[in-house]
Each structure stands twice: as C-alpha cells, then as structure tokens.
Amino acid sequence: MGVLDNTTITVDAILTKKGRELLAQGEGKFKITKFALADDEIDYGLYDITHPNGSNFYGQAIENMNLLEAIPNQTLAVKYFLTNNPGQSSGNSPVVTITGPSTIQATKTGVYTVTTDNYAPELYDFVLESTTYATIVSVPQGAPGVPPVAQETDPGAGVASAGGYSSGGSGGGSSTSSIRGASVTIRAKSKAVLWNQDRQVVLRAVGVDSGQPDNITINLSVV
C-alpha cells in the first residue's frame, strides 16, 4: 500500500481480484456498468471548528491528508461509500449487517441474511470473493414487493429459466459467484476440493439503494 500526492488530481484505477477473475473468463464477463465513491482514508475527527483562523480552515487537516493508493483486495478497499441516503429514516447513517453461520462443513450449506439499520427495506448485491472452495447455490428471496435477480451464473451450472434465474447444478439451485436478493445460501465444496484442509472465503453484501457494504469471513471445515 502507498499514498498519492494530493497536490494534483489523480485517477488511479486498478482491477480488484474479482475484476481480474471476470476478465480472465472472457466472453464479455467483465463489464463496467457503474462506479461508487468512498472516503475510507478520511478521518472526520480532524474537522476542527475551533481553528483560530476561522471557518475556512476548519477542514484544513482533512484537505491536507494523503490519499491511499488503490489496492486490489475488494474486501479491504471502498468500505465506506459516499451516498445521498435517499431512504434514510433518521439522522444516523445506514449500517449493513450480514448474519449467518461462521463455519460451514464440507458439502453443507449456510444461509446468510442481511439487514440495513436506519434505512428502508432493500435488496443486496452478494459477491463471493472466490468460488474455488464454496459457491452461492440458490436464488435468494427478494425484499417485500421486489423480486430477486440472479446476476452471474457459472458456465455449465444450469440454464436460465423463464423467471430469469438459473436451474440445475448440484444440490439444487444455481451455482454462482454473485447474486442479488435479501438473503443467500452458500455451499462449501467437497473435502477433495478443499484438499482436506480448512479454508476460508469472504462474502460481501452491498445495499442496492443505500450503497453500504458489509463483509463476513466464512470458515469452510473438513471436520
């Protein structure tokens, strides 16, 4: 990790691990359709309303901070999005929280649900950091009045149905690395695929409307 000189405007764009994975798959898998802004490196505690030089200098310390260099680990970067919070119900910022088992045994599944505090009900974009040792295997339930949307299905996992979802694959449901819904089911792969070693995978959820994220590390156990 490094810092960027803040005396000039710099756009430092790199691919995350997930982006490189999609690019390597080819067949038009890698498509940039939107972007988000974040302020991970900003410490707003430095905003000083007691600055002796007046209000024009309240944010001087923040403005002089160095910016972090872009990093490819999407679970560590862009964690605090800048949003206009259209569904915010109070003076508090929305907080997304993933709830589910910390460990899944080989070939078993775990269900993960998400809530957004201080915000209206919404759907979430789920992304599994890697499908080497686990995969999303079911289409989640949508929020009230909002149907779920399957976004990306692994080749050969199944065929699209009339509802826009995928069917087929082992264990029922589709096999995918990203999906949209209010909850998601993760299946750990077999002991052979895990090479008889405990593994870990990171599940990320981002509120579709709030733009707020949360990550959870799931342990994959061979015991």
145-156 pLDDT tens trace: 444 443 333 333
Average pLDDT, the chain: 78
| pLDDT beyond 70 at 142 | no
Domain that holds residue 144: 95-221
37: helix, strand or coil: coil
Mean pLDDT of 188-208: 95
- Per the domain annotation, does 49 fall within a domain? yes
- In percent, how much of the chain has pLDDT > 70? 75
Residues 126 and 201 in one domain: yes
38 and 126 belong to one structural domain: no
Q: Are residues 39 and 101 in the same domain?
A: no
Report phi then psi at 97, rounded to 5.
Answer: -135, 125
**Where residue 157 falls among pLDDT bands split at 50, 70, 90?**
very low
Which spans in the chain are helix H? Answer: 17-25, 60-63
In a domain, 106, yes or no: yes
Nearest to 108 by CA among 188, 192, 203: 188
Question: pLDDT tens across 35-77, in order?
Answer: 778 888 888 889 999 999 999 999 999 988 887 788 877 777 7
Other Cβ atoms within 10 Å of 61 Cβ, number: 14
pLDDT tens digits, 159-190: 222 222 222 333 344 466 889 999 999 999 99
Please indicate, yes or no, whether residues 119 and 157 belong to a single structural domain of this protein.
yes
Using the 3D structure, point to which of 24, 56, 82 is the last residue of a domain.
82
Could you say which of 55, 82, 109 is where a domain stops?
Answer: 82
Query: Are the C-beta atoms of residues 131 and 29 closer than 8 Å to each other?
Result: no
CA–CA dist 82, 65 (Å, integer): 18
- Is residue 195's pLDDT more than 60? yes
Does some domain include residue 145? Answer: yes
Task: Answer yes or no: do 65 and 40 share one domain.
Answer: yes
119 or 4, which is more confident? 119
Quick one: 39 and 8 in the same domain? yes
Residue ending a domain, choose from 61, 82, 103: 82
Q: Say if 88 falls within a structural domain.
A: no
The overall pTM is greater than 0.85? no
β-bridge pairing 109-117 and 95-99:
antiparallel
Domain for residue 200, yes or no? yes
109 and 193 share one domain: yes
Residues 29 and 119 in one domain: no
Instruction: Please tell me whether residues 100 and 192 are part of one structural domain.
Output: yes
**pLDDT at res. 170:** 36
Same domain, 2 and 110: no
169 & 140 share domain: yes
